[in-house]
Amino acid sequence: MITRRNPKNVHEPVGPYVHQIEISGATKLLHLSGQIGMDRENNIPAAVEAQFKLALENIELNLEEANLPKKNITKIVLYFVDELSGDIRREILSDFFGEFLPTCTLIYVKALASPKIKVEIDAWAVDSD
Protein backbone atom coordinates (compact mmCIF):
# COMPACT_ATOMS: atom_id res chain seq x y z
CA MET A 1 0.00 0.00 0.00
CA ILE A 2 1.22 3.50 -0.86
CA THR A 3 0.39 6.23 1.66
CA ARG A 4 1.21 9.83 0.73
CA ARG A 5 1.58 12.39 3.57
CA ASN A 6 2.32 16.03 4.20
CA PRO A 7 2.94 16.26 7.96
CA LYS A 8 1.20 19.18 9.66
CA ASN A 9 4.42 20.13 11.49
CA VAL A 10 6.31 20.72 8.19
CA HIS A 11 5.73 23.52 5.66
CA GLU A 12 3.34 22.88 2.78
CA PRO A 13 5.07 21.53 -0.35
CA VAL A 14 6.19 24.34 -2.66
CA GLY A 15 5.32 22.33 -5.77
CA PRO A 16 3.52 19.24 -7.00
CA TYR A 17 5.03 16.70 -4.61
CA VAL A 18 4.43 15.25 -1.17
CA HIS A 19 6.87 15.28 1.73
CA GLN A 20 6.70 11.55 2.38
CA ILE A 21 5.46 8.28 1.01
CA GLU A 22 5.16 5.14 3.10
CA ILE A 23 5.19 1.83 1.24
CA SER A 24 3.94 -1.33 2.89
CA GLY A 25 3.45 -4.72 1.30
CA ALA A 26 5.56 -3.90 -1.76
CA THR A 27 5.91 -6.81 -4.15
CA LYS A 28 8.00 -5.05 -6.81
CA LEU A 29 10.40 -2.10 -6.73
CA LEU A 30 11.32 -0.49 -10.06
CA HIS A 31 14.29 1.87 -10.41
CA LEU A 32 14.51 3.71 -13.73
CA SER A 33 17.74 5.02 -15.16
CA GLY A 34 17.67 8.74 -15.77
CA GLN A 35 15.21 9.44 -18.55
CA ILE A 36 15.96 12.24 -21.00
CA GLY A 37 13.94 14.11 -23.59
CA MET A 38 14.89 11.90 -26.54
CA ASP A 39 12.43 10.08 -28.78
CA ARG A 40 12.78 6.61 -30.34
CA GLU A 41 14.51 8.13 -33.40
CA ASN A 42 17.11 9.78 -31.12
CA ASN A 43 15.70 13.27 -31.69
CA ILE A 44 16.20 15.74 -28.86
CA PRO A 45 14.11 18.93 -28.97
CA ALA A 46 16.02 22.16 -28.37
CA ALA A 47 13.62 23.61 -25.77
CA VAL A 48 14.00 22.52 -22.15
CA GLU A 49 10.20 22.43 -21.71
CA ALA A 50 9.80 19.99 -24.63
CA GLN A 51 12.63 17.83 -23.27
CA PHE A 52 10.99 17.79 -19.83
CA LYS A 53 7.66 16.61 -21.25
CA LEU A 54 9.37 13.96 -23.40
CA ALA A 55 11.42 12.67 -20.43
CA LEU A 56 8.16 12.24 -18.49
CA GLU A 57 6.63 10.40 -21.46
CA ASN A 58 9.66 8.08 -21.47
CA ILE A 59 9.09 7.36 -17.78
CA GLU A 60 5.48 6.45 -18.56
CA LEU A 61 6.59 4.14 -21.40
CA ASN A 62 9.03 2.40 -19.04
CA LEU A 63 6.25 1.93 -16.50
CA GLU A 64 3.96 0.43 -19.14
CA GLU A 65 6.66 -2.15 -19.94
CA ALA A 66 6.79 -3.05 -16.23
CA ASN A 67 2.97 -3.13 -15.96
CA LEU A 68 2.89 -0.30 -13.44
CA PRO A 69 0.64 2.79 -13.52
CA LYS A 70 2.00 6.34 -13.04
CA LYS A 71 0.30 6.51 -9.65
CA ASN A 72 2.87 3.99 -8.39
CA ILE A 73 5.78 6.40 -8.85
CA THR A 74 7.03 7.22 -5.38
CA LYS A 75 10.16 9.32 -6.02
CA ILE A 76 11.58 11.48 -8.79
CA VAL A 77 14.80 13.45 -9.00
CA LEU A 78 14.87 16.24 -11.59
CA TYR A 79 18.21 17.35 -13.02
CA PHE A 80 18.13 20.57 -15.04
CA VAL A 81 20.96 22.31 -16.90
CA ASP A 82 18.79 25.16 -18.21
CA GLU A 83 16.32 27.14 -16.16
CA LEU A 84 12.64 26.29 -16.57
CA SER A 85 10.11 28.58 -14.90
CA GLY A 86 8.86 27.13 -11.64
CA ASP A 87 5.27 27.81 -12.71
CA ILE A 88 5.73 25.88 -15.96
CA ARG A 89 7.58 23.05 -14.21
CA ARG A 90 4.85 22.73 -11.56
CA GLU A 91 2.09 22.79 -14.20
CA ILE A 92 3.77 20.04 -16.25
CA LEU A 93 4.30 17.87 -13.17
CA SER A 94 0.75 18.45 -11.92
CA ASP A 95 -0.69 17.52 -15.32
CA PHE A 96 1.47 14.40 -15.49
CA PHE A 97 0.88 13.09 -11.96
CA GLY A 98 -2.62 14.34 -11.20
CA GLU A 99 -3.60 13.54 -7.61
CA PHE A 100 -0.88 10.88 -7.16
CA LEU A 101 2.10 13.11 -6.43
CA PRO A 102 5.51 11.56 -5.73
CA THR A 103 8.29 12.82 -3.50
CA CYS A 104 10.59 15.06 -5.54
CA THR A 105 14.06 16.58 -5.51
CA LEU A 106 15.19 19.27 -7.98
CA ILE A 107 18.88 19.73 -8.74
CA TYR A 108 20.47 22.20 -11.15
CA VAL A 109 23.67 20.82 -12.69
CA LYS A 110 26.40 22.23 -14.91
CA ALA A 111 26.03 19.53 -17.59
CA LEU A 112 24.51 16.15 -18.40
CA ALA A 113 25.68 13.36 -20.73
CA SER A 114 25.50 15.54 -23.87
CA PRO A 115 25.42 19.30 -24.43
CA LYS A 116 22.03 18.81 -26.15
CA ILE A 117 20.48 17.28 -23.02
CA LYS A 118 18.95 19.90 -20.70
CA VAL A 119 16.91 17.70 -18.36
CA GLU A 120 17.10 14.20 -16.91
CA ILE A 121 14.69 12.50 -14.52
CA ASP A 122 15.33 9.57 -12.18
CA ALA A 123 12.25 7.70 -11.02
CA TRP A 124 11.30 4.95 -8.57
CA ALA A 125 8.01 3.06 -8.62
CA VAL A 126 6.54 0.23 -6.58
CA ASP A 127 3.84 -2.36 -6.95
CA SER A 128 2.14 -2.82 -3.62
CA ASP A 129 -1.03 -4.31 -2.22
Q: The domain spanning residue 115 has which CATH number?
A: 3.30.1330.40
β-bridge partners, 127? 28
Sheet strand arrangement including 103-108 = 26-36, 119-128, 73-80, 103-108
Domain count, the chain: 1
Distance, in Å, from the CA atom of 55 to the CA atom of 38, rounded to the nearest integer, reads 7
Its domain, for residue 80, covers 2-128
Mean pLDDT of 98-119: 97
Its pTM stands at 0.89
Structure confidence by residue, pLDDT tens digits, 37-85 = 999 999 999 999 999 999 999 999 999 999 999 999 999 999 999 999 9
- Scanning the chain, the segments in alpha helix (DSSP H) are 48-65, 86-97
Give the pLDDT mean for 105-111: 97
How much is the pLDDT for 86?
93
